[in-house]
Amino acid sequence: MRSFSRSSLVVLVLITGIFARPAFSQTNKPPIVFPPLPAETKAFLMDADEFTLLSLNPSSDLEHKGKTGFRGHRVLGETQIGAGVERTRLVNAFEQGIANGGGLFLCFNPRHGIRAKKDGKTIECLICFECANVYIYSESATNGYSTASTPSAIFNASLALHHVRGAAE
């Protein structure tokens, strides 16, 4: 069996990289730009009279659409988050997650939700940090966003603080 010296192997890798790079380069494609969380949505979440953080079963469960369901998913638990530091931390993490979202995946296993109410209006957020998908439902529209997974730690900590069971990851 023939062996290569370390320097020969390094040269081979470098040459391969130089010639292969143009074939796999994506510099000619424009980057995908995902929308940020709209300022009016953030303001609504911050100023809501009611702000509920939900823990969801990630499996779709149309059987529990009524009182025990949230957007087709069974609610495992929920807690009211008052105006203040905790809500600010959650909303800012949510906003930063969307700002740093990098892409969308085909799965959708949401484990978190937010329901905010103010002046007879409601905004609901269905969040899957696993696959980086967020859907925000309002009376006027439904919009999809990408999110980073980093806010999940803050959401899970808040649920744990209020003794709300979370879905297994």
* Domains along the sequence of the chain with CATH: 39-161 (3.30.1490)
Residues 12-58 pLDDT 10s? 333 434 343 344 344 566 666 678 999 999 999 999 999 999 999 98
| pLDDT surpassing 80 at residue 83 | yes
Region 70-87 average pLDDT: 94
Residues 103-143 pLDDT 10s? 767 788 999 999 999 999 999 999 999 889 999 999 999 99
Q: How far is CA 58 from the centre of its chain?
A: 13
| CB neighbours of residue 54 within 10 Å | 25
Tracing tokens 């931390």 back to the chain, one arrives at: 89
Half-sphere exposure of 63 (CA within 13 A, CB side): 3
pLDDT of residue 110: 94
The 3 state secondary structure assigned to 93-160 is HHHHHHHCCCCCCCCCCCCEEEEEEECCEEEEEEEECCCCEEEEECCCCEEEEECCCCHHHHHHHHHH
| pLDDT surpassing 80 at residue 82 | yes
Sequence-ordered list of residues with C-beta below 8 angstroms from that of 40, at least 6 positions apart, any chain: none
| pLDDT surpassing 90 at residue 96 | yes
**pTM of the complete model:** 0.78
Residue type (1 letter), 130: E
Long-range contacts of 59-68 (CB under 8 A, 24+ apart): 59/109
Tokens (6 digits) for 14: 């470098």
